[in-house]
A and B are shown apart, each in its own frame.
Chain A
Amino acid sequence: SQTIHQWPATLVQPVGSPLSLECTVEGTSNPNLYWYRQAAGRGLQLLFYSVGIGQISSEVPQNLSASRPQDRQFILSSKKLLLSDSGFYLCAWSVRGSGSPLHFGNGTRLTVT
């Protein structure tokens, strides 16, 4: 069966510090991979998605970036965090192709102080 791992579960970082969140998927090949963010009191906002190694689509201009160095690995990064980057970050995967449900990891609670 397929599983998705996302870490760390919680993170407290000072403003201006770098960020690296990692997500890996097991039990499937060539998945679509996604990073979403849920800000306090808001819905799920798509940040990045990837349909293959090295292929990244950005949905929202911001100081975050994403990379997909391997088929089942997706990394969310920032060089300098802002207070507004605080939120709940969720990685997800789906079977390649439209009309497939997304399967989410357990998320990372990021607090920028």
Chain B
Amino acid sequence: DQQVKQNSPSLSVQEGRISILNCDYTNSMFDYFLWYKKYPAEGPTFLISISSIKDKNEDGRFTVFLNKSAKHLSLHIVPSQPGDSAVYFCAASVEGAQKLVFGQGTRLTINP
């Protein structure tokens, strides 16, 4: 049972435009959500997170939006840069649990 889903395996965006990565979840007990970025042959690096008590969190070019009623979160990157080309994973956890559940990832390609 895939509790965290990223339905778009890939996304291509022009440099300078906005990249929007989407993630859906099924477990209503999730209360903490994170986005990770992964380059080939490297481990994922933490980007940004959001608690379920918020609907938006911003950090520089990265903003995460959470819609609890729709069980949906998104990551906005603006403006997109070539170095943003990577695989992006969303992840979620339940309060009290010591582990993260990851989505399948979305490969973002920024075109010059």
| Closest B residue, CB atoms, query A6 | B43
Complexed CA–CA distance, A36 and B89 (Å): 13
Cross-chain contact A104 with B105 (CB below 8 angstroms): no
Say which size band chain B's interface belongs to: 20 to 34
Chain A interface size, as a band, is 20 to 34
Chain B residues packing against A (C-beta within 8 Å): 6, 31-32, 34, 41-46, 49, 51, 89, 91, 93-105
- 24 pairs from A and B in contact (CB 8 Å cutoff): A6-B43, A9-B41, A34-B99, A42-B104, A43-B102, A44-B89, A45-B102, A46-B100, A46-B102, A51-B98, A57-B99, A90-B44, A96-B98, A97-B98, A98-B32, A98-B93, A98-B95, A98-B97, A98-B98, A99-B95, A101-B49, A104-B45, A106-B42, A107-B43
